[in-house]
Amino acid sequence: MPKMLCSCGNILRFGDIPCKIQYNFISDVDYDKVQGLVDSEELYIQMKMFFVCEECKRLWFFWDGFDKPPQEYVPSK
Ligand SMILES: [Zn+2]
């Protein structure tokens, strides 16, 4: 199963479909280009995603796809 190590030491496993730690999102600019009835697969391809660590609540944003390293966001205390 695909996995990555969070900075807190927790292992994020993201092989499940659907994946409970994965969130998909699309910018308003990109969504504005979507017209009419939407094919869910096509919309999915345009989405970016982030993972949430269930231990420390860090977010790992893949702004440029899975090929590039994710950006880490740490919640304030
Ligand atoms: Zn973590």
Query: pLDDT for 15-47, tens place per residue?
Result: 899 999 999 999 999 999 888 898 999 899 899
Q: Please determine, for residue 1, whether its predicted confidence score (pLDDT) is greater than 80.
A: no
Cα–ligand 1 centroid distance for 45 (angstroms): 26
Q: Is the peptide bond between 18 and the residue preceding it cis, with omega within 30 degrees of 0?
A: yes
Q: What's the CA gap between 69 and 2, in Å, rounded?
A: 15
- Which run of H or of E encompasses 3? strand 3-5
Domain ranges of the chain: 3-73
Ligand 1 is an ion; its neighbours by CB within 5 Å are 6, 8, 10, 53, 55-56, 58
Q: What's the CA gap between 77 and 74, in Å, rounded?
A: 9
Instruction: Check residue 29 and give its pLDDT.
Output: 94
Instruction: Check residue 70 and give its pLDDT.
Output: 96
Query: Tens digit of pLDDT for each residue in 47-69?
Result: 999 999 999 999 999 999 889 99
